[in-house]
Amino acid sequence: MNNSRRKRINQSIIALTGAKDKMQKALDEEKTALARIPDDDDSEEMRDGMDEIISGLEDAISSLEEALDTLNGAEF
């Protein structure tokens, strides 16, 4: 592999790491916001929507971590 491709892969790793960090921050904020929602019937729909968002963010973060592990484990 030539240096140009190695450089692009390293830039991609940096971009993926940044994206993962931003999603983690959004996840943490969403969890904090969910904890502040009252646990009553009036707020059930809102809590359910927030739970779906949290689940989606967790899945996306997990996928990014797997991709980063694969890229970091490869010898470029």
Per residue in 35-64, pLDDT (tens digit) is 999 999 999 999 999 999 999 999 999 999
Query: The tokens of 15 are what?
Result: 């971009």
Residues of the domain holding 52? 3-32+41-73
> What mean pLDDT comes out for the span 1-19?
94
Q: What is the pLDDT of residue 1?
A: 80
Contact 61, 27 (CB under 8 A): yes
Whether pLDDT at 75 is above 90 = no
Q: How many beta carbons lie within 10 A of that of residue 59, not counting itself?
A: 10
The crossing angle, in degrees rounded to 10, of helices 44-73 and 3-36 is 160
Q: Give the contacts of 67 (CB within 8 A, at least 6 positions apart).
A: 16
- Regarding pTM above 0.75, the answer is yes
Is 20 a residue whose pLDDT tops 90? yes
Percent of the chain with pLDDT over 90: 91
Total domains in the fold of the chain? 1
Query: Is 23 within 8 Å of 59 (Cβ atoms)?
Result: no
